């Protein structure tokens, strides 16, 4: 009884302190992210950042935001169901996410059909914003796309690591993994390198011994593994257990604290391409990193940083539009230029993709270490 | 020479995988033998074994010599429980009800255990209690994990062989698989023997779960589905209901998976396995070792 009274007193006190809170119009915005499943740290990071962005917006924003968070388990069907529920039942004005391309592609079709703006922070497959060469006008992203990322990785292998031979291992059932593998192969071969192994596996595979023994015959200097951290850690361990020495290289799917936890010694000292480095020296980034650290006890990864930017972009557009009508918000989004975010300056190109530089990080025990920046 | 050592190394890879499939396939085949039931929950018992080992190793810090028997005891109890709660009440019901119940038990185990306070739907790194050691033989290398898997599988097969062909429980099991009614008239305790079959099958699945997690140190609640399906194919391939058929089927599946990836393409792998299954079923509908209808 006492505690109920106490809560009541606080509530009344708050009402007096913030009389404006009542006056603001309430709008809903949804986040679709993998909170459980094989890439759950992606979901956790982006959920933290999403709520932080809404909190930051609420201090000055014109609207009161109700955040809705849906779990997609990194599964296309779950993601599509979550999107339909957010749009038709909860009536959100916009969607943040999904984080992985394989979920973002089907969800983008739903957003498109229902005419709800969607901004994904981290889905890098070109198919998210473009379908059969046709732009999906309601879909945007705050990150670069895989043709760029794959070529950055291939050039790093050829020029910085001076590798002459490389092998590629990718998940054939995942558009993200497949797309990166193709670009890497094409770019690496163009740079006079030789691809000595190009093999795929399925999503649920755990035994890579046959593929690794096969690759081991060719002794490649670099092995490119464009997949998410869980699978990468497992493959890396088996690669080292088979005595294969080449440098491992990957994409932004590696960005998780779990990578080192599961991969251990096998993964340390290898490289991946990413969207931003937590060592970034920039006013907005440093402020965000400090705040995230004090709130969640660890350095924000690129999933957190990009989801923060994506959320800020859509909320900023909402304010500028002055209405939660999806069409009006869309107009502002389409015209967005030079948005100053945690991960850099964001301007959407004709496909709704952000044109940004990539960084190369080295996996270290304490966290990823910054190596180089590559501009598009 | 290089090709030979490559083939030998890939053979070891295939045997490692096949041995685990064989352990799981035995459970399918034994249960089918006595009950004419395809126990779809078997792959999930395998998963339960891997998780039990995970908790014993990482939360309780038990030595590996204790982890094996304890895990097998836990999965054996789970198998016993599943039979008592889900299958026994349906003993006289049509076979199709039993089959559908088995699918239900499988889905129940997967989705109930994936709840947050239980196993969670996340991928968990499995703490291997020992380091990997390579033994460089003249032609190929083996690891201590591969040796462990092959050794443990061989020992448990030998033990199973003794149980089935040289004890009265084994004789009762075989009698049940021939004719349940006649066996019960001869004084075979039907319920007890069926329970025993589930217990032995589930213990072997638990063992498979530990070995699998040692070899591929990452576990999640849905990890039993694919090995379950592959082992089921192995059991059908060898002739369902036949012990040595299941073992051979497991090894064939494991070896063909590895060799298709090694010499053709890894994308073709599952396609080729199912093609082998079609071929065997067309040429020998009862599997490689199957003889007559309704006989073990």
The DSSP bridge partners found for residue A198 are A168
Residues of chain A with a CB closer than 8 angstroms to some CB in chain B: 36-38, 40, 73, 172, 199-202, 204, 206-207, 209-211, 213-214, 217, 230, 233-234, 237-238, 241, 243, 258, 261-262
A2: helix, strand or coil: helix
Window 203-222 of B: residues touching A by CB (8 A cutoff) are: 212, 215-218, 220, 222
- Mean pLDDT over A231-254 rounds to 92
* Contact assignment for A206 to B257 by CB distance below 8 Å: no
B289: helix, strand or coil: coil
Instruction: State how far the Cα of A359 lies from the Cα of A53, in Å rounded to an integer.
Output: 24
In the 8-state DSSP scheme, what is residue A342? T
Q: Name the residue among A40, A243, A262 with its Cβ closest to that of B218.
A: A262
Q: What are phi and psi of A151, to 5 degrees?
A: -70, -35
Say how far residue A17 (Cα) sits from the centre of its chain: 38
Pick the residue of A41, A178, A203, A210 with the most B CBs within 10 A to test the interface with B by mutation.
A210
pLDDT single digits (tens) A139-148:
999 999 999 9
Q: Which chain B residues are Cβ-neighbours of A210 within 8 angstroms?
A: 10, 13-14, 257-259, 261-262, 266
pLDDT at A279: 85
Instruction: State how far the Cα of B47 lies from the Cα of B228, in Å rounded to an integer.
Output: 9
Q: Does B13 touch chain A (CB under 8 A)?
A: yes
**CATH number for the segment(s) B2-120+134-283:** 1.10.3470
Q: Which chain B residues are Cβ-neighbours of A237 within 8 angstroms?
A: 217
* Contact assignment for B218 to A204 by CB distance below 8 Å: no
Q: Does B231 touch chain A (CB under 8 A)?
A: no
Most confident of A217-221, B1-5, B276-280: A217-221
Chains A, B: CB pairs < 8 Å: 78
pLDDT single digits (tens) A64-99:
999 999 999 999 999 999 999 999 999 999 999 899
Tokens of B147: 């040796």
**Sign of torsion over alpha carbons A267, B221, B160, B11:** negative
Smallest CA–CA distance, residue A302 to chain B, in Å, is 21
Tokens of A159: 């020029």
Buried b / exposed e along B249-270 (16+ C-beta atoms within 10 A): bbbbbbbbbbbbbbeeebeebb
Stronger pLDDT, A186 or A2, i.e. the higher one: A186
Cis bond leading into A98, ω under 30°?
A: yes
- Mean pLDDT over A287-295 rounds to 93
Instruction: State how far the Cα of B67 lies from the Cα of B55, in Å rounded to an integer.
Output: 10
Q: Name the residue among A201, A233, A241 with its Cβ closest to that of B132.
A: A241
Question: Is pLDDT of B296 > 50?
Answer: no
Cα separations (Å) of A66 from A87, A138, A307, B29? 14, 21, 17, 55
Instruction: State how far the Cα of B62 lies from the Cα of B292, in Å rounded to an integer.
Output: 47
Instruction: State how far the Cα of A50 lies from the Cα of A98, in Å rounded to an integer.
Output: 12
Smallest CA–CA distance, residue A123 to chain B, in Å, is 21
- DSSP for B163-204 reads HHHHSHHHHHHHHHHH-HHHHHHTT--HHHHHHHHHHHHHHH
Question: Residue A113 — very low, low, confident or very high, per pLDDT cuts 50/70/90?
Answer: very high
**By C-alpha distance, which of A78, A80, A113, A119 is closest to A99?**
A119
CB A130 within 8 A of CB A351: yes
pLDDT at A97: 82
In the 8-state DSSP scheme, what is residue B88? G
Smallest CA–CA distance, residue A218 to chain B, in Å, is 12
Smallest CA–CA distance, residue A96 to chain B, in Å, is 23
Q: All domains of chain A, ordered by start, with CATH? A: 25-144+281-357 (3.40.50.2300), 147-274 (3.40.50.2300)
Question: Is pLDDT of A48 > 80?
Answer: yes
Question: Residue B174 — very low, low, confident or very high, per pLDDT cuts 50/70/90?
Answer: confident
The DSSP bridge partners found for residue A96 are A31, A119
Tokens of B174: 């075989």
CB A182 within 8 A of CB A150: yes
A240: helix, strand or coil: helix
Instruction: State how far the Cα of A16 lies from the Cα of A12, in Å rounded to an integer.
Output: 6
Question: Is pLDDT of A10 > 80?
Answer: no
3-state helix, strand, coil in chain B (%, to 5): 75, 5, 25
pLDDT single digits (tens) B179-214:
888 888 888 888 899 999 999 999 999 999 999 999
- Mean pLDDT over B156-161 rounds to 90
Q: Name the residue among B2, B122, B217 with its Cβ closest to that of A36.
A: B122
Tokens of B11: 């053979």
């Amino acid at each position: 009884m006492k505690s109920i009274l106490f809560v009541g007193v606080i509530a009344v006190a708050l009402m007096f302190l913030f009389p404006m809170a009542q006056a603001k119009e309430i709008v809903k915005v949804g986040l679709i992210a993998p909170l459980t499943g094989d890439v759950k740290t992606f979901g956790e990071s982006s959920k933290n950042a999403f709520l932080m962005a809404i909190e930051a917006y609420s201090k000055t924003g014109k609207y009161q935001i109700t955040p809705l968070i849906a779990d997609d388990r990194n599964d296309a069907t779950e993601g599509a169901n979550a999107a339909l529920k957010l749009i038709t039942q909860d009536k959100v004005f916009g969607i943040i996410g999904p984080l992985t391309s394989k979920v973002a592609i089907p969800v983008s079709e739903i957003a498109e059909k229902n005419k709800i703006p969607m901004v994904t922070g981290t889905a890098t497959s070109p198919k998210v914003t473009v379908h059969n060469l046709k732009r999906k006008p309601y879909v945007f992203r705050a990150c670069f796309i895989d043709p760029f990322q794959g070529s950055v990785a291939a050039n790093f292998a050829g020029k910085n690591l001076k590798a002459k031979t490389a092998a590629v291992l990718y998940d054939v059932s995942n558009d993200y993994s497949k797309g990166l593998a193709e670009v890497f192969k094409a770019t690496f071969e163009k740079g006079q390198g030789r691809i000595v192994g190009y093999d795929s596996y399925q999503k649920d595979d755990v035994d890579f011994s046959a593929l690794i023994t096969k690759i081991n015959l060719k002794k490649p200097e670099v092995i490119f593994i464009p997949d998410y951290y869980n699978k990468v850690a497992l493959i890396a361990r088996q690669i080292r257990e088979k005595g294969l020495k080449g440098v491992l290289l990957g994409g932004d799917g590696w960005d998780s604290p779990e990578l080192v936890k599961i991969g251990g010694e096998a993964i340390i000292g290898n490289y991946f391409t990413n969207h931003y480095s937590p060592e970034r020296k920039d006013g907005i980034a440093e402020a965000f990193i400090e705040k995230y650290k004090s709130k969640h006890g660890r350095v924000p990864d690129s999933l957190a940083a990009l989801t923060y930017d994506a959320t800020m972009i859509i909320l900023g557009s909402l304010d500028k539009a002055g209405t939660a009508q999806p069409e009006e918000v869309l107009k502002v989004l389409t015209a967005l230029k030079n948005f100053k975010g945690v991960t850099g300056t964001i301007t959407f190109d004709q496909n709704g993709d952000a044109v940004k530089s990539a960084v190369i990080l080295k996996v270290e025990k304490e966290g990823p270490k910054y190596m180089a920046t590559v501009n598009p | 020479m290089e090709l030979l050592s490559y083939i030998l190394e890939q053979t070891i890879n295939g045997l490692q995988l096949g041995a685990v499939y064989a352990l799981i396939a035995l459970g399918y085949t034994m249960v089918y033998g006595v009950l004419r039931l395809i126990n779809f929950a078997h792959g999930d018992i395998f998963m339960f074994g891997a998780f039990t080992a995970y908790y014993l190793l990482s939360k309780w810090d038990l030595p590996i010599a204790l982890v094996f028997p304890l895990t097998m005891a836990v999965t054996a109890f789970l198998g016993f429980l599943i039979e008592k709660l889900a299958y026994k009440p349906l003993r006289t019901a049509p076979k199709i009800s039993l089959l559908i119940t088995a699918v239900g038990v499988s889905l129940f185990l997967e989705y109930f255990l994936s709840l947050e306070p239980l196993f969670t739907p996340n991928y968990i790194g499995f703490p291997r209690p020992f380091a990997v050691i390579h033994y460089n033989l003249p032609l190929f290398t083996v690891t201590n994990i591969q040796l462990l898997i092959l050794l443990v599988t061989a020992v448990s097969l030998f033990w199973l062989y003794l149980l089935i062909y040289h004890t009265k429980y084994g004789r009762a099991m075989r009698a049940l698989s021939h004719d349940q009614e006649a066996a019960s008239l001869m004084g075979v305790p039907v319920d007890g023997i069926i329970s025993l079959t589930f217990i032995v099958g589930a213990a072997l699945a638990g063992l498979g779960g530990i070995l699998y997690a040692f070899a591929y140190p990452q576990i999640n609640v849905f990890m039993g589905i694919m090995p379950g399906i592959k082992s089921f194919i192995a059991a059908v391939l060898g002739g369902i209901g036949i012990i040595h058929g299941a073992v051979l089927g497991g090894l064939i599946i494991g070896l063909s998976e590895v060799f298709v990836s090694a010499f053709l393409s890894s994308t073709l792998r599952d396609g080729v396995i199912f093609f082998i299954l079609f071929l065997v079923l067309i040429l020998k509908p009862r599997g490689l070792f199957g003889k007559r209808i309704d006989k073990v």
